[in-house]
Structure 1
Amino acid sequence: MTDRRAEFRALHHSGRPLLLPNAWDHASAAVLAARGHPAIGTTSLGVAASAGLPDGAAATAAETLALARRLAQLPVLVSVDIEAGFSDDPAVVAGYVAELAGLGVVGINLEDGCPDGTLAEPECTADKVAAVKAAVPDLFVNARTDAWWLGVADPLPEALARARAYRAAGADGIFVPGTVDLAALRMLTERLDAPVNALYQPGGPGLTELGRVGVARVSTGSLLFRAALGAAVAAADAVRAGRPTVPAGLPSYAEVQHLVPVGD
């Protein structure tokens, strides 16, 4: 297991950004692995919405653990989005992450956004990071600050201060969703001694541009899940409207069936 975690860590230092696509169930993870992605993350929105639960409300601890158990069967490195840890108690968060690690998970995302749309006190998130690292020292902890996501008036200094606190607590990487401003990202990568993770945004800079300013990891977040929902609706609408075609390139029944492991 240590070798797999070291492999995941090394992907953040390859000289080009690691594209981490985010899955929401076994099939989406399996097809991404089959396309050659060495690592995948999970999307908390996709996991929550698939279960009929709200995202970011600490409601999907059981669903997230069950998904991690299923993804452990796949030949791919898995990092799991655990929102804010599903608890305010650092010891409970650490215990939960230890369960994930026991399943083979190599990394987690841990955020500082609260369900009420505010940011948690940085000491609270830092304490969770420290507890997780004490429980599973070689697990890659990607600490996410929602300074941009939640509309802080001056997000850059807030994000820097929080990132430094999380890094001091043991975080291995820093995630700053909500900005693709290259100048801001460059400042973060230059001032933080940890890999910086950006969230891909359609119409924003691509992997090459993000890599030029030092971004080490690019996540797709909920994009793939939302794209899948959109494609499903478009196909249903096409059938209802009597249009003769649906989107090209759909996997066949046999291809999807092949993604599911067959028991002995």
Structure 2
Amino acid sequence: MRTQAEKAAVFRALHERPGAFIIPNPWDAGTARLLASLGFEALATTSLGLANTLGRPDGAGAVSRGEVLENCRVIAAATDLPVNADLENGYADEPRAAAEMIRLAAEAGVVGGSIEDATGDPHRPIYGFDLAVERVQAAVETARALPVRFVLTARAENLLHGRLDLDDTIRRLQAFEKAGADVLYAPGVRDLATIRTVASSVGKPLNVVMSAADPALTAAQLAEAG
């Protein structure tokens, strides 16, 4: 079994090599092992998948921080593959408090994780720009202090919450990159032209979730788009 440090090195190498790679979403140890047997090189936890297994809605605090961390632990221990974690908004508004989720996730065995700028409050769904950047900065500082080379993904959630402002989404991703995020993610980008625009606007790897994208898109097309 690989050590956590070895998993971290593999995961970072995946992000540094040319082209794109596919990272599927198990929701428990069984699905993690099934996906590993199919030849995938890394895995990523899913807040939606976990919530569904518990019979709860995704978001709005329906799944506790402890339940998320236990899911991380189970999936990370299930296979030799590196695991990235969906850590939602860090279960806190204040930057340092949210960044603590990064440390706890690493202790659970994952080697990457995401922090998003969605608040969980339908009345103010997205953190203000400055606070969103401060939260990423705090998460980066926490990740850099870990004993493993943790890959931090910063998510701009406008498109999932009715804020169809691509310029602001790109502005946030660029600020998150400047703050030190390793990977950038704007869930909700759908068509190839928009994906190409976002990818060309940033210098770090861009994650695209296929459940929200045009189902006709292929992995090869996404790789070509950057």
Q: Which TM class, normalised by the smaller chain length?
A: 0.7 to 0.9
Cα pair 2:87 2:101 within 8 Å, conserved? no
Of the three residues 176, 180, 189, the one matched with 1:166 is: 176
What's the RMSD between the two structures over aligned residues?
1.8
- The answer for the alignment partner of 1:212 in structure 2 is 224
Q: Which has the bigger relative contact order, CA under 8 A and spacing at least 6? A: 1
- 1:8 matched residue in structure 2: 11
The one of 198, 201, 204 aligned to 1:191: 201
Structure 2 CA distance for aligned equivalents of residues 123 and 62 of structure 1: 28
2:101 is matched with which residue?
96
The answer to whether residue 126 in structure 2 is matched with residue 119 in structure 1 is yes
Counterparts of 1:210 and 1:48, CA distance in 2:
28
The higher radius of gyration belongs to 1
CA separation of 1:124/1:53 partners in 2, compared to 1, >3 Å: closer, same or farther? farther
Q: Does 1:77 align with 2:82?
A: yes
Structure 1 residues 102-181: aligned runs within 5 Å = 102-117=107-122, 118-137=125-144, 138-153=149-164, 155-181=165-191
Separation in structure 2 between the aligned mates of residue 48 and residue 104 of structure 1, nearest angstrom: 20
Question: Shift in Å at residue 202 of structure 1?
Answer: 5.9
Identity %: 31
Equivalent residue number for residue 61 of structure 1: 65
Q: Is the 8 A contact 1:38 1:76 kept in 2?
A: yes
The match for 1:250 is: none
Could you tell me which amino acid in structure 2 is paired with residue 142 of structure 1?
T
Q: Is the 8 A contact 1:133 1:139 kept in 2?
A: no
Gaps in structure 1 of 5+ consecutive residues:
215-264
* Superposition deviation, residue 82 in structure 1: 0.9
User: 1:219 maps to what in 2?
Assistant: none
User: Hey, what's the Cα distance between the residues in 2 that align with 1:95 and 1:120?
Assistant: 18
Q: Which stretch of structure 1 is more off in the superposition, 2-11 or 71-80?
A: 2-11
User: What one-letter code is carried by the residue in structure 2 that aligns with 1:63?
Assistant: E
What letter corresponds to residue 215 of structure 2 in structure 1? G
- Structure 1 distance, partners of 2:25, 2:88, is 14
- Which residue in 2 is equivalent to 1:246? none
DSSP-derived class of the 1:141 partner? strand
Query: Quick one: which of 41, 46, 70 aligns to 1:43?
Result: 46
State the distance in 1 between where 2:33 and 2:196 align.
34
Q: Partner amino acid for 1:75?
A: D
**Residue deviations 1:6-26 (CA, integer Å, cap 9, x gap):** 321221233221101011111
